[in-house]
Amino acid sequence: MLVLGVVRNLGQAHGYQVRRELLAWRADAWAHVAPASIYQALRTLTKHGLVEEVGTESGGGPERTVYRLAPDGETEFFHLVRTAVSDPTDTLDELSAAFGFLHLLPRGEVATLLDHRVRALWAELVRVEPPAEAGAPVLPDGIKPAQVGALMQLAAVRLRAEIDWSLEVAGRIRDGTFIFSEGAASKA
């Protein structure tokens, strides 16, 4: 997603430009992007028809292959962004990457994607932490080994924190805190 998004933003780029852009975003710290993985991603994306080679560039050093986003790459890029925002089973790295591109989607759509995320998180929370009935403990008695109950509590705390965060960010999106390029995104 990051490589597709950077190539899309730049119009066309070679691997070193993609790397430089991602370093400017500090993606090496939050998305664990290694330089070699960028070049591998460009080769893989080319093989799958998501980016296209448009030529080579030399500036005193080795020749660099220049890429641009293919039409299928545009579709896949927006699919990846939408999925990372709406589906909490994606990793936080994917969510982090998607947040760098949210401004490309319509504001209302992003808020709705976060609403979907919240519903999925609530469903998972109910599975991890069933509602207490008439004073019954939240965690079932007799969990063996006992420390599993503590692990379930941790999972519930994380889910509640992500629900709260998602609701807060959706509210900030709806109230105009963040700037969006309304209507600029592909409706793939």
What local confidence, expressed as pLDDT, does residue 186 receive? 44
What local confidence, expressed as pLDDT, does residue 146 receive? 67
d(CA 84, CA 113): 9
CB atoms within 10 A of CB 78: 21
What local confidence, expressed as pLDDT, does residue 123 receive? 93
What local confidence, expressed as pLDDT, does residue 84 receive? 94
Sheet with 64-69: list strands edge to edge: 13-14, 64-69, 51-57
Side-chain-side CA neighbours of 38 within 13 Å: the count stands at: 25
Beta bridge partners of 56: 65
What local confidence, expressed as pLDDT, does residue 163 receive? 96
- Say what the pTM is: 0.83
What local confidence, expressed as pLDDT, does residue 77 receive? 97
Tens-of-pLDDT digits for all 188 residues of the chain? Answer: 999 999 999 999 999 999 999 888 888 777 777 778 899 999 999 999 999 999 988 877 788 999 999 999 999 999 999 999 999 987 788 888 898 899 999 999 999 999 999 999 999 998 887 665 544 445 555 556 767 778 888 889 999 999 999 999 999 999 989 888 764 444 44
- Buried b / exposed e over 147-177, threshold 16 CB at 10 Å, is eebeebeeebeebeebbeebeebbeebeeee
What local confidence, expressed as pLDDT, does residue 113 receive? 96
Instruction: Please choose, from the candidates 52, 77, 53, the residue with its C-alpha nearest in 3D space to the C-alpha of residue 64.
Output: 53
